[in-house]
Amino acid sequence: MNSHYADDLATFMAGVERRNPNEPEFLQAVQEVAMDIIPYIADKPIYRDLKILERMTEPDRIVSFRVVWEDDNGEIRVNRGYRVQQNNAIGPYKGGIRFHPSVNQSVLKFLAFEQVFKNSLTGLPMGGGKGGADFDPKGKSDREIMRFCQAFMTELHKHIGPDTDVPAGDIGVGAREVGYMFGQYKRIVNRFEGVLTGKALEFGGSRIRAEATGYGAVYMMEEMLQHHNESIEGRTCVVSGSGNVATFCVEKLLELGGKVVTLSDSAGYIHDPEGIDKAKLAWVMDLKNNRRGRIEEYVREFGGTYHEGEKPWSVPCDLAFPCATQNEISAEDARMLLDNGCRGLSEGANMPTTPEAIRTIQSGKTLLHAPGKAANAGGVGVSGLEMSQNSLRLQWTRKEVDEHLRKIIRGIHDQCVEFGTAADGHVDYFKGANIAGFNKVAAAMIAYGVM
Ligand code: NDP
């Protein structure tokens, strides 16, 4: 970035920081986008005059509310719930709900901001939003989860609707939680409508929705490799996380001939040099979805090693898939990946790579790096397809949905190449995704006039 743009970026960020003090994750997400957009709009006065980027960083609204529920011991518990409705220029707000003790306004604003660009990239008519609560589902009984979800939806239902805002799952929110929330919404409004995605098949869910984010992250890797005449087959893969995104990422990697050697959770990671095969993966899915156990139990069952309190990035690999949480790859981790000859990094998680790590990777130009807003857009893409199926009162086959998913990811890859390719042929997937995502939302905002 030349010094003129650097000054513009500093001025812009100073304004954002003044309006959003103590929100480091949100500022990080905005800075990552602004670094690409400010040079891009330098010769496009309409965007600057109409303050499009400034308006995009200001959420349409944020709702925050008390969630009161009773635990199994009869104690009253109080949590805070949120919905950030960031931007609905191109469609109803759309984005997941996260239940995790780390949830706060900054985290949800970063996720909602990213979601605007991601949803735009899918080519589907969806705006961006995100919600959640600082509720920790770990160690809670099924009934406690149900009571929490019902209490959460009792307030949230006032702010959402199939043409207004359509939430989905995220960390700590899977099919079980979506079921409880959808049931409560339906009970309150007395309408059966597509207000949530990620529903079970029996009540309006889409095939491949559960798989879509993990599969999509692998399809994105496949696209990047194919663009360079390479493939996934025979490559050693390191995956973090062991939840929804991670496990379906592993499933697709195995299908395409990859060898996966790690998984993790918030306590540590397992390394299985023999490779995690289909049977071992089925065991992990049961452990996480039904028995709600810890990943360290894997080594007692199958061998390998467990590394408490560590992340898997020091394990030599060809391809890396961060699928756990934000800022899980530091500059030091990025350096290890590069030193070990890692060729591709596809972000299943949102913003898993710190800004320093991104710079470290970009300086090398040897590692193909897809940002979360491109690589994990398969999840919201299939959520968009779930909305279409709900409106049509139809359910498509697995094959049909998978074909749509592949097409969506291919479209995103093509947009990244179109807007991110430098004169020397190097593709900056961050820049490509940011500019392509921005263009469509900006065009709609301009059409609406000043508001
Ligand atoms: P899950 O709750 O199913 O799984 C999350 C996994 O990440 C668990 O293994 C969890 O470990 C681990 N994890 C969570 N927080 C931390 C932490 N602070 N440090 C280390 N590990 C952690 O969530 P998902 O798989 O749905 O989401 C994973 C990522 O993918 C998130 O960044 C999410 O925003 C993103 N994403 C998800 C989409 C979806 O469709 N679900 C769509 C697009 C993006 P533990 O069990 O110990 O907490």
Question: 224 C-alpha vs ligand 1 centroid, how far in Å?
Answer: 24
pLDDT of 293 reads: 96
pLDDT of 4 reads: 80
Contacts of 163 (CB under 8 A, 6+ apart): 92
pLDDT of 119 reads: 98
Outline where 74-199 has alpha helix (H). 105-121, 142-156, 175-189
Residues 113/130, Cβ–Cβ less than 8 Å: no
pLDDT digits (tens, 9 = 90+) for 379-422: 999 999 999 999 999 999 999 999 999 999 999 999 999 999 99
From the list 228, 218, 231, 249, the residue with the least C-alpha distance to 417 is 228
Structural domains of the chain, with CATH: 3-56 (no CATH), 61-192 (3.40.50.10860), 212-375 (3.40.50.720)
pLDDT of 322 reads: 99
Task: Determine if ligand 1 sits within 6 Å of the CB of residue 347.
Answer: no
**Cα-flanking dihedrals φ and ψ of residue 436, to 5°?**
-65, -40
As a whole number of angstroms, the distance between CA 277 and CA 259 comes to 8
pLDDT at 2 over 90: no
Smallest CA separation from ligand 1 atom 41, residue: 170
pLDDT digits (tens, 9 = 90+) for 82-100: 999 999 999 999 999 999 9
As a whole number of angstroms, the distance between CA 239 and CA 241 comes to 7
From the list 447, 354, 433, the residue with the least C-alpha distance to 37 is 433
As a whole number of angstroms, the distance between CA 181 and CA 196 comes to 8
User: Is 51 one of the annotated active-site residues of the chain?
Assistant: no
Question: 246 C-alpha vs ligand 1 centroid, how far in Å?
Answer: 8
Average of pLDDT values for 60-74?
A: 98
pLDDT at 257 over 90: yes
Kindly state the tokens that stand for 416.
Answer: 């990244």
Average of pLDDT values for 248-277?
A: 98
Contacts of 380 (CB under 8 A, 6+ apart): 94, 95, 115, 118, 119, 122, 126, 168
Average of pLDDT values for 190-207?
A: 98
CB atoms within 10 A of CB 288: 21
Task: Determine if ligand 1 sits within 6 Å of the CB of residue 127.
Answer: no
Question: 240 C-alpha vs ligand 1 centroid, how far in Å?
Answer: 9
pLDDT of 90 reads: 98
pLDDT of 358 reads: 98
The gap between the terminal CA atoms of the chain, to the nearest Å, is 31
Residues 442/47, Cβ–Cβ less than 8 Å: yes
Question: 170 C-alpha vs ligand 1 centroid, how far in Å?
Answer: 7
Residues above pLDDT 70, as percent of the chain: 100
Task: Using pLDDT thresholds of 50, 70 and 90, give the confidence band for residue 172.
Answer: very high
Instruction: Look over the chain and give the mean of its residue pLDDT values, rounded to a whole number.
Output: 97
Q: Which amino acid is at 283?
A: W
pLDDT digits (tens, 9 = 90+) for 334-356: 999 999 999 999 999 999 999 99
Smallest CA separation from ligand 1 atom 3, residue: 243
Task: Determine if ligand 1 sits within 6 Å of the CB of residue 346.
Answer: no
344 secondary structure, DSSP code:
E
291 secondary structure, DSSP code:
I
Task: Determine if ligand 1 sits within 6 Å of the CB of residue 324.
Answer: yes
Kindly state the tokens that stand for 59.
Answer: 């959420």
pLDDT digits (tens, 9 = 90+) for 154-168: 999 999 999 999 999
pLDDT of 217 reads: 98
pLDDT at 152 over 90: yes
